[in-house]
Amino acid sequence: MKHARLLTLAAVALLAFGACKPSPDAPAASPQTDNIYQFSALDGAGDTIPLADLQGRVILVVNTATQCGFTPQYEELQKLYLKYHGRGLEILDFPCNQFGAQAPGTNDEIHAFCTGTYNTTFPQMAKIDVNGDSADALFTWLKAQAPFAGFDTTDPRGAYLDRLFRAQDSLYDSNPDIKWNFTKFLVDRNGQVVRRFEPTDPMRAVDEAIAELL
């Protein structure tokens, strides 16, 4: 069963990569700021949330999808939220449909799925793009602060994705773009990005990094 799921994930990754490859044009300029507090985000209800409201908190920013092989990470993210929210952690969930069209549905439908299936209680933002000309400014900045540093190839999924993406573009790892769903950016209490986690990185590593900042 695990092998079948891995093959399904990899096949979707191979098909989707062509549509998500970075444009040969120059990448969008990253806003000139050293902290996250200059940005705002729309939540699922369409309300603007100034990230300056989160000053002094540790923030984990995640691009998510509801029909991905990594979707069960919602459960682990909720565990982190329950474990550390009282000590100053905030998790911001940004659904994104750019990778294999694995985040279909409206904001309300996505929210209903996440709360109903994984009992999530951390803030869920409106669906956005994270790559390309329509990329959200926050993610353009996050990628500039913490470029892609490779998949965890000790994880079979990471090794497989690396081979598949590299077969499409031998230099795929030289650009900072988000590669797949459930990429995570960890921001410290000063609003600065301290680490990027790819979806194949173990969640225990995310847990340990958060704990060090709290």
- Work out whether the CA dihedral 195, 103, 161, 211 comes out positive or negative: positive
Helix-helix angle 107-118:73-84, to 10 degrees: 70
Q: Which residues contact 4 (CB under 8 A, 6 or more apart)?
A: none
Contact 88, 55 (CB under 8 A): no
Give the integer Cα–Cα distance in Å for 201 and 127.
23
Give the integer Cα–Cα distance in Å for 112 and 39.
26
- The torsion angles phi and psi of 95, rounded to 5 degrees, stand at -60, 145
Q: Which two tokens stand for residue 15?
A: 């098909």
Give the integer Cα–Cα distance in Å for 30 and 27.
9
Contact 23, 133 (CB under 8 A): yes
Task: Provide the annotated active-site residues.
Answer: 68
Nearest to 140 by CA among 13, 64, 32: 32
